[in-house]
Structure 1
Amino acid sequence: MSDGAALIRLEGVTKHYQMGGETIAALNGIDLDIAANEYVAFIGSSGSGKSTMMNILGCLDSPTHGRYFLNGVDVAGMSETELATTRNVEIGFIFQSFNLLTRATALQNVMQPLIYRGIRPAERARRAKEAMARVGLQERMDHLPNQLSGGQRQRVAIARALCSEPSILLADEPTGNLDSSTAADIMSLFDTLHAEGQTVIIVTHEPDIAAHCRRAVRLADGKVLSDIVNTERLAYRARESTHV
């Protein structure tokens, strides 16, 4: 894409790591645009560069060479404080391992990012309850993580990410710890969130998960091997919209 208003723009992004006396190119000259409200999968095997891509997009790491623009802002020019704010406000992270506080209720877990933003308790609770309702867990707010199924815990993690009203939902292997039926439910939730206008980016090694997305970017050896729009999914969505 070449839209000047791209939400994400990567220009010649390269990431090198030193391992002993050897230089490893985890990413090798990536040029890529992602628009707002896209539904994108980065897919590849181990060592393809997809985890490094997630770290770059999530402002957890910086390119060795090249530039990363988020909402038109060059990330390289941000201070550590600005990067932390960007991670907390612009990006909603969802991890394979859920990363929930074991002694906190589901609602308390969802509220957690808002504490760091200095939002008052009443507003934190309102936003968290709304996010819990969006993921269908309004009846599980007072449950601890060990009282929830794997799918419910992932929904709590998604609600926590949504609570900050981020520009991007960035999910790293979000179904990796789930059985196939529960994984399908979680992907259906991502489908719904995208339909509501949310930008969703998923990092995965599973073709079935990538098939849910409207666009699949396949990485291999740190390069873009293919970048394909899933026309079947777009056509299916168009048919659905005509029956609403």
Structure 2
Amino acid sequence: MNGDDALIRLQGVAKHYQMGEETICALNGIDLRIMRNDYIAFIGASGSGKSTMMNILGCLDTPTHGQYFLNGRDVAGMSEAELAHTRNLEIGFIFQSFNLLTRATALQNVMQPLIYRGMRPAERARRAREALARVGLEKRQDHLPNQLSGGQRQRVAIARALCSEPSILLADEPTGNLDSSTAADIMALFDTLHGEGQTVIVVTHEADIAAHCRRAVRLHDGRVQSDVQNPPRQGHGERAGV
């Protein structure tokens, strides 16, 4: 155990890649704590380390040095099977490109992560319908991705992440393929989910998206350049007032 109540704790985390004879330092000594119900953005330019940060937080990669504690457990001590189980159980992934199955309905796409839990089909469908309702798509459950707008497809992707009831929603450039109005709608949905108690982590290069979150961590050359609390946005109250 890590000795505190943080959902995530990074302690001296570094990630190095070998490119021929050159060593690339993608992350260099990151110390960070993320609490439950945090609403945090990692922002930075290309090469800042934010994609590597996302991969480590999502248990898709492991640090070269340092420790990553998730729910009090050192991720470095997990086997490949345990890492896969942790990804499925603890982390809901949301990607810029939606990553939906093109020949599956919205309902089938949302149910997909639950298949690996050995859950009965009726229970999978019930939870998927509930997740679609949370994102306002209960009337679109039988539509294929090509019958949905970009914003609706991202909402399906968010519902798919939510149906597993994860500890963390981890969104990688979630508005990158959307127009500004639709992007604002998706961020408003994240506001609502955060207000319901969900921990939300957004990886972005867009300052206005980072400003939407309650906390913004700017990465530069693999280090934390700044870690600031953003003022509450108008119309976005504390959890009890949402």
TM range, smaller chain: over 0.9
Tell me the residue number matched to 1:192: 192
Query: Map of 1:106-185 to 2, 5 A cutoff?
Result: 106-185=106-185
| 1:200-219 C-alpha deviation (Å, 9 max, x unpaired) | 00000001100110000000
**Aligned-CA RMSD value:** 1.7
Tell me the residue number matched to 1:92: 92
**Distance in 2, Cα, partners of 1:61 & 1:24:** 15
Q: TM-score, normalised by structure 1?
A: 0.96
Secondary structure class of the residue paired with 2:140: coil
Q: TM-score, normalised by structure 2?
A: 0.96
Secondary structure class of the residue paired with 1:82: helix
Contact residue 197 and residue 239 of structure 2 kept, 8 A: no
Displacement of 1:221 in angstroms is 0.1
**Distance in 1, Cα, partners of 2:3 & 2:102:** 43
Contact residue 93 and residue 170 of structure 1 kept, 8 A: yes
Query: Map of 1:200-211 to 2, 5 A cutoff?
Result: 200-211=200-211
Secondary structure class of the residue paired with 1:101: coil
| 1:46-99 C-alpha deviation (Å, 9 max, x unpaired) | 000000000000000000000000000000000111000000010000000000
Contact residue 18 and residue 24 of structure 1 kept, 8 A: yes
Contact residue 195 and residue 238 of structure 2 kept, 8 A: no
Secondary structure class of the residue paired with 1:175: coil
Tell me the residue number matched to 1:102: 102
Distance 1:82 1:234, change over 3 A: farther
Displacement of 1:240 in angstroms is 8.9
Contact residue 214 and residue 234 of structure 1 kept, 8 A: no
Tell me the residue number matched to 2:39: 39
AA of the residue aligned to 1:200 = V
Displacement of 1:232 in angstroms is 3.8
Alignment partner of 1:223 is 2:223: yes
**Distance in 1, Cα, partners of 2:145 & 2:238:** 37
Alignment partner of 1:8 is 2:8: yes
**Distance in 2, Cα, partners of 1:239 & 1:33:** 20
**What is the total number of aligned residue pairs between the two structures?**
241
Secondary structure class of the residue paired with 1:197: coil
Secondary structure class of the residue paired with 1:12: strand
Distance 1:69 1:21, change over 3 A: same
Displacement of 1:231 in angstroms is 2.7
AA of the residue aligned to 1:31 = D
**Distance in 2, Cα, partners of 1:203 & 1:238:** 22
**Distance in 2, Cα, partners of 1:161 & 1:130:** 12
Question: Unaligned 5+ residue runs, structure 2?
Answer: none
